[in-house]
Amino acid sequence: MSVDPHIQVNFPLLSTFRNRQHVNILGIETSCDETGVALYSDVDGLLADRLYSQIELHAEFGGVVPELASRDHVRKLLPLIRALLDSAGLTLDAIDGIAYTQGPGLIGALLVGSGMAEALAWALDVPALGVHHMEGHLLAPLLEDEPPEFPFVALLVSGGHTMLVDVTEVGQYRLLGETLDDAAGEAFDKTAKLLGLSYPGGPALAALAQSGDPQRFRFPRPMTDRPGLDFSFSGLKTHTRTLWEKQSLAPDADQVKADIAAGFELAVVDTLAIKCRRAMQQTGHQQLIVAGGVGANRALRRGLQQAGAKAGFQVSYPRPEFCTDNGAMIAFAGCLRLQTGQYGKGYQHTRIDARPRWPLEELPAVNR
Ligand code: KG4
Ligand code: ZN
């Protein structure tokens, strides 16, 4: 895979990186219900990646059970790293640095990744760096062959976050708007649960919506009739509950359910598209990137493509498997930061640490 010259870091490498031509960074993602690992080379790009999803483990509970998630990360992480190295034909000594998700996320799950990363880094005598999960998502489109150029607006839509961010450079993030209640993915998941769909709700609801008529029921487009770039999705969920309670005994209940799913999905897509258009206008940027799990939603991709074509901005996404949680985005973001010497003292990583809450704007800039 080619690497965008724009993001290749040419600064003198510090400490153990000094005089190294190639660096291979191991990325570890354990913030929620996916164990993701990847190996990223500053010269050759992504060498390998592996993902283990805990979906089956949590399915019977209808949502992520944090304690089960942590225990499963403990079980899966080391075998996954071994499988990763095997698939790349490499051994542990090929690792020059380790990047792990330090937050935000589930505390126990984060501690598994950070503990493993710091211990392995100590054993291999290489630097380790805690990466902000949302920075990982935000930079994921840069892993693609035709990466977007800075500056851009990032729409981050995941299970825990809905944010619009003005990105002028790696590490320079200005929050333009965010959700005041449920995240977009959370709204998908909760609405799917209300409709009795299987876990995880987002993809299940999107699949059902395909056979539905989005115009049959009218859904609001929350907070679009007032200025600003914040979101609120909890009202859509309540709207669905009321609608479904009234309609669930209808003779065509299966079709009603599909039509509600389609109406809900379109309402989310329209709302996100309206706010994205506004953010593009406000910043004057020509490029929008979309990342996070809901970025895998096809209707959203179509809706934003259309909005971009109309208003004259480009829209880029990571490939669908890098929209949802993965190790590649963490390896990549970590590589950019590690190469500028951001580890150990001055970047809080002299101890095992996890930050379940961590504002994106607190990240230090990257001087490339
Ligand atoms: O980024 P992600 O994998 O994990 C978090 O950091 O939260 O996002 C997961 C979220 C879940 O809420 C999931 O239901 C949603 O993304 N999601 C989708 C789709 N695929 C994943 N929502 C709607 N349509 C999809 N196709
Ligand atoms: Zn995520």
The encoded tokens of residue 145 equal 């062959």
- Calpha distance 254→280 (Å, rounded): 39
Is the C-beta atom of 140 inside 6 A of ligand 1? Answer: no
Q: Note whether 58 and 163 are same-domain residues.
A: no
How many residues can be counted in the chain? 368
Which residue has its alpha carbon closest to ligand 1 atom 26? 297
Strands (E), the chain: 24-29, 34-41, 45-53, 97-103, 128-132, 152-157, 162-169, 172-178, 287-291, 314-316
Ligand 2 center to residue 291 CA distance, Å? 9
Q: Is residue 3 part of a domain?
A: no
327 inside domain? yes
Task: Indicate which residue's Cα is closest to atom 16 of ligand 1.
Answer: 293
Our answer on whether the CB atom of 202 is closer than 6 Å to any ligand 1 atom is yes
pLDDT at 186 > cutoff 70: yes
> Among 14-28, 47-61, 77-91, 292-306, where is mean pLDDT lowest?
14-28
Express each pLDDT in 21-49 by its tens digit: 589 999 999 999 999 999 999 999 999 99
Q: Is residue 304 part of a domain?
A: yes
Question: In this structure, are 204 and 225 located in the same domain?
Answer: yes
Locate the ligand 1 atom nearest the alpha carbon of residue 184 and give its number: 12
Q: In the numeric block, which tokens belong to residue 115?
A: 């503990």
Considering the chain, what percentage of its residues have pLDDT values greater than 70?
Answer: 91
- Indicate the average pLDDT of the chain: 90
Which backbone phi and psi does 135 adopt, to 5 degrees? Answer: -65, -35
Report which protein residue has its CA nearest ligand 1's atom 13.
Answer: 202
Q: Phi-psi region for residue 175, left (φ > 0), alpha (ψ -120 to 50) or beta?
A: beta
What is the whole-number distance in angstroms between the Cα of residue 134 and the centre of ligand 2? 7
CATH of the domain at 86: 3.30.420.40
pLDDT of residue 3: 32
Looking at the structure, tell me whether residues 311 and 267 fall in a common domain: yes
Q: To which residue do tokens 């020059």 refer?
A: 96
Identity at 366, one-letter amino acid code: V
33 and 48 part of one domain? yes
Examine the pLDDT at 201 and tell me if it is beyond 80. yes
Mutate to test the pocket of ligand 1, among 182, 269, 324 (most ligand atoms within 8 A of CB): 324
pLDDT confidence of residue 344: 54
Domain containing 94 equals 8-140+323-362
Mean pLDDT of 347-362: 74
pLDDT band at residue 351 using 50, 70 and 90 as cut-offs: low
CB 322 less than 6 A from any atom of ligand 1? no
pLDDT of amino acid 146: 92
pLDDT of residue 6: 32
Lowest mean pLDDT among 57-61, 246-250, 298-302: 246-250
pLDDT surpassing 80 at residue 346: no
What is the reported pLDDT for 339?
85
| Residues 179, 91 within the same domain | no
How many structural domains does the chain have? 2
pTM: 0.89
